[in-house]
Amino acid sequence: MSRKASTPSRRHFLKSVGATLSLPVMPSLLPNALGASDALGTTVAEAASPRRMVAVGNLLGFQLDSLFPKTAGEAYESTRLLKPFDPVRDQMTVYRGLDHGVKGGHFAVHSFLSGVLKMDAKGRPDGNISLDQLAAESVRGRTRFPSLTIGSEGGIHGGCQMCWTRSGTRVPPIPGPQQLFEKLFVGEPASRLNQVKDRHSLQGSILDAISGDAKTLERKLDAEDRVKLDEYLTSVREVEQQLQLKQQWVEVPKPDAPFDPPKNVNLVEDLPLIYDLMLLALQTDSTRIATLEIGGDFLPQHLGINKGYHSLSHHGKKKENIDSLLVIEDYQMKHFARFLEKLANTTDGDSSLLDNTSVLFGSGMGNANSHTNHDLPILLAGGGFEHGTFKKVPREGSKRVPLSNLYVSLLQSFGVERDHFANSTGTFI
């Protein structure tokens, strides 16, 4: 009997993955087990332990005096905010001295993953595409979701604005664990599948017509209007690609849910659940790229604090305000460290999920009290890199080393063939 006939189908594997949800993807259950690729272009080796990327951003930064050690190197002291990471210290690196060289206070925070202010993106080859979305372009079609963007839609500065497409469009976030759970585990009922297919077909016809009309119009436009049209067509192509992915996965069953659907409470109490769902998304290979931004809807009242998070960030150096901020930051660090520990304790092929996942944590805000965007708090864990140190990054002459240099290294580790990103001047790791 041929191997093809005896090997379970990809759909069969995805149907049964819920029964083995605590286990990594099993290469022996995948088609083409001798190393060929399946219909989605996924090789067995890649399916067993693909590269993954997670980025967690904070809108309001951290108290740097309680975060950064004074001693560089492997012997750095465990500060208040780094204390929760002691169990994974050897799998994490702390960086100081990196930023994007941008200004703008709260509004520049949105360049954390792109390295470029949206207002400065026009005319750039990649616009202000964010790190996660550039990585997602390289794995499009291999997972149900090219990326998962999670974050709040509330708050004084308009909610999550950390992830950007090549055309400069904000990637709308999944606002809570209930919506994330449904996206990962709740499929369309059989009675609606034909309706979904028809809807996708209609959307595809509309996009075809728009593209055709645009190409006809292009011949009549001057140079400036052609640039505008090209930006528009870029947006249309992004929609086309998203539509193709939806059509590709519409009949592929989602994994079985490992627990009952959660009920939204608030970002504070839901934070550990969001991290657990992110881990499951990676573990089931529903996606290989996930981001989370903490900001607008993080309500410190649930931690016994009676002031707003944003107002506390403008602490005016008052001890009571800083003390309250540290309670909030302790909580965030505790649950991020727990997420890293879970990744480290989850088997993935011949290694751990953390070994195969580059996890970036930080903020585009250096000091919220003074609205500065330099000297950013940056942690990097996993990804197969050498860790266990605190790196004070020296300047290159009179300039800081761009944070984008680190991003180039992350992209290359992920498998993206790039030697430049945003304002990078080279690689870092």
DSSP codes joined into one string, 26-59: -GGGSS-TTS-B-TTS-BHHHHHS--EEEEEEET
pLDDT (0 to 100) of residue 81:
98
Residue 327 tokens read as 């309670």
Q: List C-alpha distances in Å: 421 to 43, 114, 132, 381.
A: 28, 8, 12, 20
3-state secondary structure of 362: strand
| Interstrand relation of 289-294 and 148-151 (parallel, antiparallel or unpaired) | parallel
Q: Residue 163: which of 112, 236, 107 has the closest Cα? A: 112
pLDDT (0 to 100) of residue 158:
58
More confident residue, 204 or 290: 290
Residue 93 has pLDDT above 50, yes or no: yes
The whole-number average pLDDT for the span 246-269 is 76
pLDDT per residue over 97-153, tens digit each? 999 999 988 889 999 999 999 899 888 889 999 999 999 999 988 999 999 999 987
Q: What is the pTM of this model?
A: 0.78
Residue 220 has pLDDT above 80, yes or no: no
Q: Class for domain 52-184+256-414, per CATH?
A: alpha beta
361, containing H or E segment: strand 357-362
More confident residue, 420 or 44: 420
| Interstrand relation of 92-96 and 389-392 (parallel, antiparallel or unpaired) | parallel
Mark 194-228 as b/e (b = at least 16 C-beta within 10 Å): eeeeeeeeebeeeeeeeeeeeeeeeeeeeeeeeee
pLDDT (0 to 100) of residue 107:
86
Confidence of residue 404 (pLDDT cuts 50, 70, 90): very high
The whole-number average pLDDT for the span 3-13 is 36
Phi–psi pair at 386, nearest 5 degrees: -75, 130
Share of residues in the chain with pLDDT > 70 (%): 72
Confidence of residue 396 (pLDDT cuts 50, 70, 90): low
More confident residue, 11 or 81: 81
What value does the mean pLDDT of the chain take?
81
pLDDT (0 to 100) of residue 327:
95
pLDDT per residue over 309-366, tens digit each? 888 888 888 999 999 999 999 999 999 999 999 999 999 989 999 999 999 999 999 9
3-state secondary structure of 148: strand
Q: In which residue are the tokens 């075809």 written?
A: 208
Confidence of residue 32 (pLDDT cuts 50, 70, 90): very low
The whole-number average pLDDT for the span 188-193 is 55
pLDDT (0 to 100) of residue 1:
32
